[in-house]
Amino acid sequence: MALFKRDPWILDIYRTYSGKNHLYIRGRALEDQPLKHYEQQTFYQTLRNTWRTFKTDEIRNASVGLTLPNGTQFETKADHEGYFLFDITVDIDLEDLSDDEGYLSLAVKFDEDNAAFAKAKKQKRLAKNSFNGETLIPPQSAVYGVISDIDDTIMHTGVTSFLKIRVAFNTFFKNYDRRLPLKGAASLYQLLHRGPSGNDQNPMFYLSNSPWNLYKYLEKFLDFHGFPKGPILLRDFPTPWDRTPKLKRPHKVHELLNILKHYPDMNFILIGDSGEHDVDYYKDVAQQYPDRIMAIYLRSVNHDKKMARVKSIADSFTICPMLLVQESKEAVIHAREMGWII
């Protein structure tokens, strides 16, 4: 028996978004135990999960294969941090392979012909070699899409707190079932998801500057508090020795533009807060796509200087409605008046 049991190889697959003829699948190859999040965890269990969330050992340059429900296969390679991306145009109609809600199931596995895989298998570090995931392909019934920030937009986070102390406390010491959503947020998002007919299944996209390490945590939070299912789009946290090429634009702008590129015939409602840079990102995107942004809702934050700046921008913005809202019901009233929800 080995003195120290080594962690198994796993593939984390993040729920992303794809197009009718385009796959856009993200994930990460890791040496790790799958995380187990429970409701009503003890303080010790929460700390242990937090430690394991950020203590990750990536599998560098792993060869990864993807299989669609019809048996079609693709291959790619992870980078030096274990992240992999399938960004592929296909000649298959992916809508035909999706379920009624627009989700395409897929399976990802390590390349069994790879020498590193053979070594890991010999070390008994592969309990299985098939990891399930899904990607969203908005159904034909969708009338519009919704792109939303997470921090202080749907979840009380404290990004404007001094030295972001509240952010650190909430992230490291609170389980997902003890985090508070903003009042009425889940109901607003469900109304937008259902749209004017009550059954439109409009796609929901959740953006955050949080690292991919928090993906499972945020997924659990959204599910627990009744938010509509949707892609959760996070980022790789750079380190001083990180060799990953830097994005030409901020992470949120990159994802915003990528979503609009994926769905050129779809219009969007953008939701954020007044505490960080959402107003600048959303304003710039609306200026680039003036006919495709229906409205911008910005939640007010408890910071006088930031609020004064955002209010000045909102008051002079004419491309689309830009509303500062204290509570979700204000956005509900506006969206209902516009005929976007029932």
- Does residue 121 sit in the same domain as residue 265? no
What are the Cα distances from residue 206, in Å, to 92, 230, 253, 313? Answer: 27, 7, 13, 24
> In this predicted model, what pLDDT tens digit does every residue of 10-28 receive, in sequence order?
899 999 999 999 999 999 9
- Does residue 218 sit in the same domain as residue 317? yes
pLDDT, residue 274, reads 87
Nearest to 213 by CA among 107, 62, 83: 83
Burial class (CB in 10 A: 0-12, 13-18, 19+), 128: exposed
Calculate the average pLDDT of the chain: 85
> In this predicted model, what pLDDT tens digit does every residue of 203-230 receive, in sequence order?
999 999 989 988 988 998 999 999 999 9
Nearest to 148 by CA among 207, 232, 223: 207
Pick the more confident residue, 123 or 142.
Answer: 142
Average pLDDT rounded to a whole number, residues 138-163: 82
CB 236 within 8 A of CB 81: yes
Name the band, by pLDDT with cuts 50, 70 and 90, for residue 37.
low
- Does residue 122 sit in the same domain as residue 150? no
Pick the more confident residue, 304 or 145.
Answer: 145
> In this predicted model, what pLDDT tens digit does every residue of 227-271 receive, in sequence order?
999 999 999 865 544 555 555 689 999 999 999 999 999 999 999
CB 66 within 8 A of CB 225: no
- Does residue 278 sit in the same domain as residue 177? yes
Name the band, by pLDDT with cuts 50, 70 and 90, for residue 77.
very high
pLDDT, residue 20, reads 93
* 181 is a domain residue: yes
Name the band, by pLDDT with cuts 50, 70 and 90, for residue 165.
very low
End-to-end CA distance of the chain: 63
Q: Which residues contact 227 (CB under 8 A, 6 or more apart)?
A: 154, 181, 185, 186, 189, 190, 204
pLDDT, residue 204, reads 98
* 185 is a domain residue: yes
- Does residue 177 sit in the same domain as residue 293? yes
Domain extent at residue 73: 10-136
Q: In the structure encoding, which two tokens stand for residue 166, read together?
A: 């509240």
C-alpha 8, offset from chain centre = 25
Q: Give the CATH number for residue 27.
A: 2.60.40
Instruction: Write the DSSP symbol of residue 29.
Output: E
pLDDT, residue 125, reads 76
- Does residue 117 sit in the same domain as residue 195? no
Domain count, the chain: 2
Percent pLDDT > 90 in the chain is: 63
